[in-house]
A and B are shown apart, each in its own frame.
Chain A
Amino acid sequence: MTTVRPVDVDLLRQIEQFLFLEARLADEGAYDGWEALWTDDGVYWIPANGDDIDPTSQMSILFDNRSRIALRVRQLKHDKRHAQNPRSRLRRLLGNVELLDGDPADTEAGDVVVGANFVIYESRQRGTTIWAGRSEYRLRLVDGAWRMAGKKVMLVDNDRPLTTLGFLV
């Protein structure tokens, strides 16, 4: 026998809408809007060689604290960021959205943790690349709006040779 766990449908839909917004801003290169979704202590992480490595002792594909997120956005907005000039054409699908932990009504309980699978189609002169994996987000209500305090992107092929990943995944 399993117990049916109640789902806060309203919360789930709110969070899905936030994730879809984040995905669309990234796809469309709306860099300022994307950066504004981050909290002041945000951490953006793409591990390599597995999903559970220690980023303070092992190489990651990307491991940005908040100031490095800002640097990355400034570089993307510069016309000599050749890896994204011209920008990749991108569209991504999110699915399997799960509320994993946390309660927004209880701010003492910490951030809401959400998981979602993704598939991204990237088209540029090199060809079309399919990126797939699962992201784990830490979300927080700041002044009544959802903000991202953490995004960990676990690519299914993060232990293999990867082509250039110049866009916001």
Chain B
Amino acid sequence: MSTATTVRWDQLIEPDRVHGSLYTDPAVYAAELERIWYRTWVYVGHESEIPEPNDYVLKSIGPQPVIMTRDREGQIHLLLNRCSHRANLVCDAPQGNSSAFRCPYHGWTFANTGALLGYPFSSGYGGRELKGELGLARVPRIESYQGFVFGSFAEGGPTLAEHLGAAAGEIDRLVRLSPEGRIQLTAGWLQHKVKANWKMLLENETDGYHPQFVHASIFAVADSGIGELYGEKSTAVSRDLGGGHTENDLRPEFRRLGEPLRWFGTTADRLPDYVARMRAAYGDAAEQILIEGSPHVMIFPNLFIAEIQIFVLQPLAVDETVQHVTAIQFAGAPDLNRRMLQQTIGSVGPAGFLLADDSEMYERNQRGVQTLQPEWLVLKRGLHRQRLDDDGHLIGDATDEVPMRAMWAHYKSLMEDGR
């Protein structure tokens, strides 16, 4: 029997609190793999990581290693890295260009479409042709949006557009910051490993309550204004975008300040080439785009767009998660991209001014949640003041826990699905 059907989710997830065992119970983790990671749409990689025919890159869906390939015709495939013969890994290099993958164990060779091309000493199979039936396993559904490639292990279910819902608009808002309307994830990835359940990271990504405390040291010594965006007086809002997707919408603050590029902590005169290209591309609309800046959105379950960085969450065990991170690079914006890379290197990853402190918190949370009492984690913040915005989305103040409640409600619906 599936573990998902033996866990009583309604006894662990209530509207304003969740049970600590959701972060520690291996049965819960097994159920999550089945109901979330191996079923729903999960972000895998970006088309810009495999720009040329026959490019490939090793990616993952949770603990599953996935080879994202682009075939000779330009079609993208998500293949599982497991030889159909004796289960050896067929691909070792983190990225490269090849039309085929040859298993080192017995030399079986697969096209980058997954098809079995050949196997040595074929008479040993008595004249039976294996090529049609023993290709590499594939992630059955693959779709992309604005270059973001998602995969789903379910043969059927919602389309990617249905899955993204209102979150698609946040991706649109991101790519619009490129004068060419597209981003490139070409700066390489840091892999930051933490001893914590993946949901500790997921919830932290759009928790507007923590920055002033967790990041107090860097805000103080760098004289940063970021803390005020997440203060009690901030006009920014936290939002439930539906589908478990959540955001901290900082636009109200940036509109109030009215300065282009304030969201990036700089001014238009510091990036004249970029600003000129944006004005050429978008005309009068450029001003508003440059004032409002980039989204801070967590796309369930694993893609976090954090203004200038992309984070990808990869659970490896109930208490182990790898957070992959890279700097966003905007096509046609070299001067912006150089600064964005250096700012990202400073902020994120194992030694980052911000993420080293976040990761310390995830791990402290994980140790704490193993303590027996009081059993529950509290999600009450802002319950009394949450409201609907003009688009019908639930919003709260900047520091409210609207995003966590939204994530858990969606999580519960996935885990109870088919009951």
Contacts and interface: CB of A to CB of B under 8 A. Distances in A.
Interface in A68-119: 68, 71-72, 74-75, 78-83
Contacts of B94: 49, 159
Contacts of A63: 342, 345-346
A159 B220 CA distance: 32
Contacts of A56: 338, 341
Nearest to B353: A75
Given A59-B190, A59-B344, A82 B361 contact: yes
B218 A75 contact: yes
Contacts of A71: 221-222, 353
Interface stretch (A4-12, A14-22, A35-43, A160-168): A160-168
A61 B351 CA distance: 6
A74 B218 CA distance: 9
B48 interface: no
Contacts of A2: none
Contacts of B353: 71-72, 75
A14 B193 CA distance: 38
Nearest to A47: B188
B360 interface: yes
Contacts of A161: 191-193, 322
A162 B364 CA distance: 17
B216 interface: yes
A57 interface: yes
A46 B190 CA distance: 12
A83 B188 contact: no
Interface string B89-105: 00000100000000000
A93 to B, nearest CB: 21
Interface string B326-360: 11000000000010011011100111010011011
A164 B217 contact: no
A162 B191 contact: yes
Max chain B C-beta neighbours (<10 A), residue from A49, A161, A164: A164
B346 A68 contact: yes
B191 A59 contact: no
Given A164-B350, A164-B356, A59 B217 contact: no
Contacts of B342: 63
B222 A59 contact: no
B166 interface: no
A162 B217 contact: no
B217 A81 contact: yes
B176 interface: no
Contacts of A165: 350-351, 356
B189 interface: yes
B393 interface: no
A46 B342 CA distance: 13
B221 A164 contact: no
Contacts of A49: 94, 188-189
A159 B94 CA distance: 9
Nearest to A159: B94
Identify the 5 closest CB pairs spanning chains A and B, nearest first. A78-B217, A161-B193, A83-B356, A80-B216, A161-B191
Interface of B: 94, 187-195, 213-214, 216-218, 220-222, 322, 325-327, 338, 341-342, 344-346, 349-351, 353, 356-357, 359-361, 363-364, 367
Given A62-B349, A75-B217, 9 more contacts: A48-B190, A57-B341, A59-B188, A63-B345, A64-B346, A81-B217, A82-B214, A125-B364, A165-B356
